[in-house]
Structure 1
């Protein structure tokens, strides 16, 4: 189930934005590293190119990834930098009710999205088959549920941002995020 907590701001620029990935639950370091891997795979899927100056693209817009909590980011790799400005979007990843409780604490930060860990059996779903194959090709192992969850969250962001080119997407994010309960096309 996906949820949305709205704060005060939207995407800061039509050309780039910062997405914080905030993992809650157990084994934060491993979970955060897996979440970043899954998110980056989606961020490179459609608009990626050589000589990137960001961590990838979602919706045709540069995305910079901020792994949270920062103290759990020791295993995170392949980011081009750590954004210094506050995130435009905070994606909370993890089990309920902890994810929603954490989201409420961040709602003054801007747009806060909650994405539950995918249910057991997600590996067999046909829409995730190509993701799992690409993940294995890039990382040499099968993806975890956290990697798949972050990939799914990035795809949702891509779907919301693409038609708006990153401008004033608060209402679009709400609509797309709620529609993810039924899955992405």
Structure 2
């Protein structure tokens, strides 16, 4: 069972070696004082090749369902919308190696958006490639024994939402979603909740982080 916790960047790095598998959600923000986004990127670092490629595929596909649920318009060129803003899902294959991942992260850091990573403890160095000004916001850990402050239960789908998501997923991909796909969808819905009140204005980074934390708390209460 995944747990969701809020950590500082320093605490995150100290915890990495203790976790069997990590889901790390990092908020990426540019440096301009005034920042308005017509679109934003959601980069997914995961194994998209090799023996665990289904993990990355399921996570990405679950998120893709969420981006197609609302706010669509004719002739759109993005992957869909979250929070009423065009969103683009970017695959970063964790099996490509630290240097390749770091190169893609540097390019992504020039814009605003979100980063979701699925990493093993031997891949912690990939997170060190993040620029120092990018704060870690949320850690989703598979190790329930790890005790950390401010911990939340993970995003889960109530029965009605799970059924609706399952039907939508089948329409897209012709098969039933697995647990990883459900988590990808739930995370994307949390991003939608956090982004929607901003109307694409990402300059208030602290507010956006708080909105995401509030969305996690709402999930916990359901």
TM-score, scaled relative to structure 2: 0.60
Does the alignment pair 1:41 with 2:65? yes
CA distance in 2, matches of 1:115, 1:9: 21
1:117 Cα deviation after fit: 7.5
RMSD of equivalent CA atoms = 4.0
Does 1:19 pair with 2:42?
yes
Q: Distance in 1 between matches of 2:124 and 2:208?
A: 17
- What is aligned with 2:146? none
Alignment partner for residue 213 of structure 2, among 159, 171, 178?
A: 178
3-state SS of paired residue (2:130): helix
Given that 1:5 and 1:113 are in contact with CA atoms closer than 8 Å, whether structure 2 keeps it comes out as yes
Structure 1: give runs of 5+ residues left out of the alignment: 73-81
**Is residue 2:219 matched to residue 1:154?**
no
TM-score by length of 1: 0.70
Structure 2: 5+ residue stretches without partners: 7-24, 97-103, 143-152
Distance 2:53 2:133 in 1: 23
Larger radius of gyration: 2
Q: Do the aligned partners of residues 126 and 102 (structure 1) sit closer, same or farther apart at CA in structure 2, a change above 3 Å counting?
A: farther
Taking the aligned partners of 2:118 and 2:184, their CA distance within structure 1 comes to 10
Q: What residue in structure 2 maps to residue 9 of structure 1?
A: 30
- Please say if 1:130 is aligned against 2:179: no
Which residue is equivalent to 1:86?
108
- How many matched pairs? 174
Do the aligned residues in 2 keep the contact of 1:60 with 1:165 (CA within 8 Å)? yes
Mapped contact 1:2–1:116 kept (Cα < 8 A) = yes
